[in-house]
Amino acid sequence: MRQAKGSAVPAAASSRRFQTVLDKIRVPRPVGWSRIKPDSIAADKAYSNGQIRRYVRQRGIRHTIPEKADSRAARLRKGSRGGRPPGFDPQCYA
């Protein structure tokens, strides 16, 4: 299992934990059942891996997660095959 740099937790385990935490979130409403999907989330660079971004997109949750420098460099190195950069709004993140 691959380990995240500077972390005692393997990368795959951190994404599973992130999913577990996100599944337990309940957004209260004035009346009725709580919503199980927040409007948006903000996370730091540690949560910038593909598994987490894919999971958040599948659930339809808007997210603000900065891109790691090494991920950005790898994407740029691939040129046109590197894909579109993930959107990031610094004002939402602050």
Q: Is 43 helix (H, G, I), strand (E, B) or coil?
A: coil
The two structure tokens encoding residue 16: 């599973």
Give the chain's end-to-end CA distance (angstroms, integer).
33
pLDDT of residue 58: 92
pLDDT band at 76; cut points 50, 70, 90: confident
pLDDT tens digits, 10-68: 566 777 888 898 889 898 999 999 888 888 888 888 888 888 888 998 999 888 888 88
Q: Are 86 and 67 in contact (CB under 8 A)?
A: yes
Q: Is the dihedral of CA 86, 4, 55, 17 positive or negative?
A: negative
